[in-house]
């Protein structure tokens, strides 16, 4: 029964991730922490996100705004030990309550599109948001909201925003997972559940992409490309390209007629 509960929540989290571009950990964290202890829940969340994030890293790396992602990742990796130490030291019930409050506040902030009174491009602001995110990744795996709110406030193309967030998450979650492993916070059950849930997370993200994809792209997921000799050919559109097209269309871009 526990496996089914983990799988159902992970699948739903993947759908949220694919539908919105973020938020998977916000779905998993409060539920996972009612099923297992907070440290194990954190390790499962980090493993699932690291596996899926690293799988997409090469594809999104070229479009990442490294002037934002690099300093963010450095600050986050430096402060993630704070969150790991807290989640390892504080009483489990208190950790669950704090994570629940974080998820609630983050959800409200994202829904209302809160904006910070500073730019994520500023060095100090970037360091502050990165440090906050890293601490929260160590403390329950819920470090996305500070950086997401900061990124959404900037006038950055949707595909660049998404690529930058995915790259940042993949790097920091892998770094935090490595730290958690070094301090003995990753248990055998955490590894087992994390690896087993990764396919469900990936599947859910693919479903989420389809739910918000224009009908034409869902029904005929093909793209007309020119071959190496100038000949045109059809190929399948990848989930990442579908999401980029979705973001562009939501920003008012309309594809030209072929």
Please report, in tens digits, the pLDDT of each residue of the chain (258 residues total).
788 899 999 999 988 887 776 788 889 999 999 999 999 999 999 999 888 888 877 777 888 899 999 999 999 999 999 999 999 899 989 999 999 999 999 888 888 888 888 899 999 999 999 999 999 999 999 998 999 999 988 888 888 888 888 889 889 999 999 999 998 888 888 899 999 999 999 898 888 777 755 443 333 344 444 444 444 444 444 445 545 544 544 444 333 333
Cα-based angle 173, 174, 179 (whole degrees, multiple of 5): 95
pLDDT at 219: 38
The CA distance from 106 to 149, in Å, is 9
Per-residue confidence (pLDDT) for residue 21, from 0 to 100: 66
Distance CA 56, CA 52 (A): 7
The pTM of the full predicted model, rounded to 2 decimals, is: 0.77
Residue 44 has, within 13 A of its CA and on its CB side, a CA count of 32
pLDDT for the residue numbered 17: 80
* Side-chain half-sphere CA neighbours of 234 within 13 A: 4
pLDDT at 177: 94
Average pLDDT, the chain: 81
Token reading at 8:
């159902």
pLDDT of residue 81: 94
Domain-by-domain residue ranges, the chain?
A: 2-211, 215-250
pLDDT at 112: 86
CA separation for the pair 222, 218 (Å, rounded): 9
């Amino acid at each position: 029964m526990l496996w089914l509960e983990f799988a159902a929540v992970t699948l739903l989290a993947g759908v949220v991730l694919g539908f919105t571009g973020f938020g998977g950990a916000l779905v998993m964290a409060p539920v996972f922490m009612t099923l297992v202890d907070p440290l194990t829940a954190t390790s499962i969340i980090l493993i699932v996100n690291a596996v899926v994030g690293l799988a997409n890293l090469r594809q999104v790396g070229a479009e990442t705004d490294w002037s934002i992602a690099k300093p963010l990742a450095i600050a986050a990796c430096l402060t993630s030990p704070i969150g790991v130490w807290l989640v390892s030291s504080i009483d489990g019930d208190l950790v669950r309550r704090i994570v629940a409050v974080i998820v609630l506040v983050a959800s409200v902030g994202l829904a209302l599109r809160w904006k910070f009174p500073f730019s994520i491009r500023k060095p100090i602001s970037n360091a502050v948001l990165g440090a906050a995110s890293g601490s929260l990744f160590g403390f329950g795996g819920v470090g996305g909201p500070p950086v997401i709110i900061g990124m959404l406030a900037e006038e950055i193309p949707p595909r660049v925003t998404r690529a930058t967030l995915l790259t940042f998450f993949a790097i920091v979650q892998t770094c935090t997972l490595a730290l958690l492993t070094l301090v003995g916070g990753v248990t055998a059950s955490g590894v087992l559940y994390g690896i087993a849930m990764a396919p469900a997370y990936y599947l859910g993200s693919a479903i989420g992409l389809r739910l918000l994809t224009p009908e034409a792209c869902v029904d005929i997921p093909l793209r007309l490309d020119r071959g190496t000799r100038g000949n045109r050919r059809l190929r399948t559109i990848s989930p990442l390209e579908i999401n980029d097209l979705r973001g562009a269309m939501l920003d008012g871009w309309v594809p030209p007629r072929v």
